Structure 1
Amino acid sequence: MAQPDDARRRPAVTLATAHPSHAGAAGNPALTASAAIAVIALATLAGAWFFQLVLEIVPCPLCLEQRYAYYLAVPLGAVVALAAARKAPRPVLLGGLALLGLAALANAGLGAYHAGVEWGLWQGPTDCTGPMVDFGKAGSLLDQLDKVKVVRCDEVQWRFLGISLAGYNVLISLLMAAIAAWGLARTARA
């Protein structure tokens, strides 16, 4: 069946041509990847602080160390996204994405170590954490020390679907590393 001449001459409308903002995101994988990593890291930190401040699940030393990668990923992801939006040189974008990916992979390793400590697969660190005691308050020191909750790295405080927060950290960090790898590969080919 033959098409009319005007139908053959019309260009196909794609997602990228339908709206200019779609072309920018699809055509700039460094922007997409770094912005996604920054958002995921920010959401993860918000969740960690929610668990700590609202649900009163006090983090252990390993939990606190696992937050460092997220504290790095939020501003670095935002800077790389901004650089990508402003058409920074490809080596700068590749370096930023590589750093984001390495931080996420290292954090996944730390989370796996912590999960192994929780499952009793190996020995964890010997240090503990708890709230600071205000020695200036009235009352006996022993009463104040009785109220201190010591958090051990080998005791799981919360699980969902059989996975602890350390386990979810592994999954989230691996997701961020995969997004960084995707961004690296696509940016290198662009």
Structure 2
Amino acid sequence: MAPARTGEAGRSLQLARALALLLPAALLAGAWGSQLIGGLHPCEMCHWQRWPHYAALAPAALAFAIQGRARVLLIGAAAMLIAVSGAIGVFHAGVEYGWWQGITGCTSTIDLSAGASAEDRLRAILNAPINRCDRAPWTLAGVSLAGFNAIFSLGGALTIFCLLTRRAR
């Protein structure tokens, strides 16, 4: 009976490791795709949600090269970072839905080329789109991108932790 547990525990660890790498990579790809292809420019809090996913990629990738207990700790660290992004997503979605006040101002993307004249730079500043943190630029069934990040990140982190717990038993 012990070999079956080892097999199941091994599969759980492999799945947790793959999920810890693929989830932040997929969410970042979606964020960049919506920005570069869909034209949805991120606000400041959108960027905040990306940072933990970038950070999660490092321990998740390293977990493929490390053996033993360190591998489990790396996967757990990646899951924690994914959960942090989800928590930021909850906060951002709450700001978008008007549940609470945000803590940041609006942001804008401005191209201030070095060779542009002062008049061209001023025109660029005045004509730049403002990306408000309290307005969802896109929703699906009433759920914003921040809301989807919260759902997928927190659900994924919980799944990874459950898989690691199954492995530990």
Q: TM-score range by the shorter chain?
A: 0.7 to 0.9
Aligned partner (choices 123, 129, 138) of residue 143 of structure 1: 123
Which residue of structure 2 lines up, in the alignment, with residue 156 of structure 1?
A: 136
Residues 1:69 and 2:44 aligned together? no
User: 1:125: how far off?
Assistant: 2.2
Moved more, 163-172 or 40-49: 40-49
Gaps of 5+ in 1: 1-22
Deviates more, 1:129-138 or 1:144-153: 129-138
One-letter code aligned to 1:69: P
Structure of larger gyration radius: 1
Q: Percent identity?
A: 33
| 1:31–1:80 contact (8 Å) kept in structure 2 | no
Alpha-carbon separation, structure 1, partners of 2:104 and 2:46: 14
The offset of 1:180, in angstroms, is: 1.7
CA distance in 1, matches of 2:50, 2:128: 23
Name the structure 2 match of 1:11: none
Distance (Å, rounded) in 2 between the aligned partners of 1:61 and 1:171: 20
Q: SS at the partner of 1:48? A: helix
Q: Measure the CA separation in 2 of the matches of 1:145 and 1:38.
A: 38
How big is the shift at 1:120? 0.9
Q: Deviations over 1:73-115 (max 9, x none)?
A: 22321211332xxxx122x133112212221222221111001
Q: Cα offset for 1:24?
A: 7.2
Aligned-pair Cα RMSD in Å: 2.1
Instruction: Give the alignment's TM-score, normalised by structure 1.
Output: 0.76
- 8 Å contact from structure 1 (residues 30, 81) kept in 2: no
Q: Which residue in the other structure is 1:100 paired with?
A: 78
TM-score normalised by structure 2 residue count: 0.85
SS at match of 1:55: coil
Query: 1:141: how far off?
Result: 3.7
| 8 Å CA contact 1:25, 1:31 repeated in 2 | no
Distance in 2 between residues matched to 1:184 and 1:126, nearest whole Å = 36
Structure 2 letter corresponding to 1:172: F
Question: Per the alignment, in what secondary structure is the counterpart of residue 98 of structure 1?
Answer: helix
Q: Please say if 1:120 is aligned against 2:116.
A: no
Equivalent residues in 2 for 1:5-154 (5 A)? 27-83=10-66, 88-90=67-69, 92-134=70-112, 136-138=115-117, 139-154=119-134
The one-letter amino acid paired with 2:40 is I
CA contact (8 A) 1:25 1:32 kept: no
CA distance in 1, matches of 2:51, 2:140: 23
Which residue does the alignment assign to 1:169? Answer: 149
Give yes or no for contact 2:28–2:53 (8 Å, CA) kept in 1: yes
Unaligned runs of 5+ in 2: 1-5
